[in-house]
């Protein structure tokens, strides 16, 4: 069974720098692009970033460019999102998902709350 | 990077059919056949219902179908059931190697 499990969320102060992790299982991780998507409370889905199979190509939504960094460790079947200079508007459930063109399957998400 | 345009809400009675539209531009929906549809129940992660415009993943009911014309994609749900009540999001791959989502449509089964 394909499975993605996110972790690393919690309450973070404005300006904080948490790192989210996503552990993949049930599929050949190294063969796939991976994606982060977020959903603010009561709002819609927003694509955040993606990364290719060997980590050499990365893309970001404009609102996080220069603040967030996506990375992966294929030996550990893991995807990461380093988040810096967090703002209140970054408060959201962060999902990891497999794929470039069609994100999916998805993990259960991890909630990041930016609050002082 | 503006979101794809979806109606905020649609409704229908059990047994009826409804269609949700998703309008993009020539740099996303109009060019690529990588339009997907997701169903999200409250408190749950999104579930992929349609990919590549009209393909259903294994296990998804054939009551769900997708299509595309020009810059607009559509999701049709036939034979509405109470369990279909949820939020639905479209997405499209873009020329920037990113993905855009629609703003979401709340489906109410009357």
Q: SS3 for B7-71, per residue? A: CCEEEECCCCCEEEEEECCCCCCCCCCCEEEEEECCCCCCEEEEECCCECCCCCCCCEEEEEECC
Provide the shortest C-alpha distance from residue B104 to chain A (in Å): 6
Residue A104's pLDDT is 86
- The torsion angle over the Cα atoms of residues B59, B99, B94 and A65, rounded to 10 degrees, is -170
What is the per-residue pLDDT across A29-59, written as a single tens digit (0 to 9) for each? Answer: 999 999 999 999 999 999 999 999 999 999 9
Q: Please give, rounded to a whole number of angstroms, the shortest distance from the CA of B17 to a CA of chain A.
A: 24
Using an 8 Å Cβ cutoff, are B66 and B73 in contact? yes
Across the interface, whether the CB atoms of A105 and B101 are under 8 A apart is answered no
Say if A59 is an interface residue toward chain B (CB within 8 Å).
yes
Q: Tell me what the mean pLDDT of segment B47-70 comes to.
A: 96
Closest Cβ–Cβ partner in B1, B45, B101 for A108: B45
B2, B45, B94, best to mutate vs chain A, most A CBs in 10 Å: B45
pLDDT tops 80 at residue B101: yes
For residues A12-37, give the mean pLDDT: 97
pLDDT at position B2 is: 83
pLDDT of residue B33 exceeding 90, the answer is yes
**Partners of residue A47 in chain B, C-beta under 8 Å:** 91, 98-101
B97 to chain A: which residues are within 8 Å by CB?
50, 57, 59, 100
A106 touches chain B (CB under 8 A): yes
| Residue of A103, A107, A110 to mutate when probing chain B, most B C-beta within 10 A | A103
What's the pLDDT tens digit per position in B64-97? 999 999 999 999 999 999 999 999 999 999 999 9
Q: Residues of B with CB below 8 A from A46's CB?
A: 101
Tokens coding A25: 């299982």
Distance (Å) from the alpha carbon of B102 to chain A's nearest alpha carbon = 8
């Amino acid at each position: 069974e394909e499975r993605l499990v996110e972790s690393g969320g919690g309450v973070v102060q404005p300006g904080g720098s948490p790192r989210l992790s996503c552990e993949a299982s049930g599929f050949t991780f190294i063969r796939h692009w991976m994606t982060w998507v977020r959903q603010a409370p009561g709002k819609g889905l927003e694509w955040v970033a993606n990364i290719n199979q060997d980590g050499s190509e990365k893309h970001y939504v404009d609102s996080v460019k220069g603040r967030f960094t996506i990375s992966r460790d294929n030996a550990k079947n893991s995807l990461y999102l380093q988040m810096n200079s967090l703002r209140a508007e970054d408060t959201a459930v962060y999902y990891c998902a497999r794929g470039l063109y069609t994100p999916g399957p998805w993990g259960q998400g991890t909630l990041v709350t930016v609050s002082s | 990077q503006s979101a794809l345009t979806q109606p905020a809400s649609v409704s229908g009675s059990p047994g009826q059919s409804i269609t949700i539209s998703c309008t993009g531009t020539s740099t996303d929906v109009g060019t690529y056949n990588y339009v997907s549809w997701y169903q999200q129940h409250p408190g749950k992660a999104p579930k992929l219902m349609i990919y590549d415009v009209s393909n259903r993943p294994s296990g998804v009911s054939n009551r769900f179908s997708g299509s595309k014309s020009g810059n607009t994609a559509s999701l049709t749900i036939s034979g509405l059931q109470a369990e279909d009540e949820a939020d639905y999001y479209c997405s499209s791959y873009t020329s920037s190697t990113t993905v855009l989502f629609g703003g979401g449509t709340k489906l109410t089964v009357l």
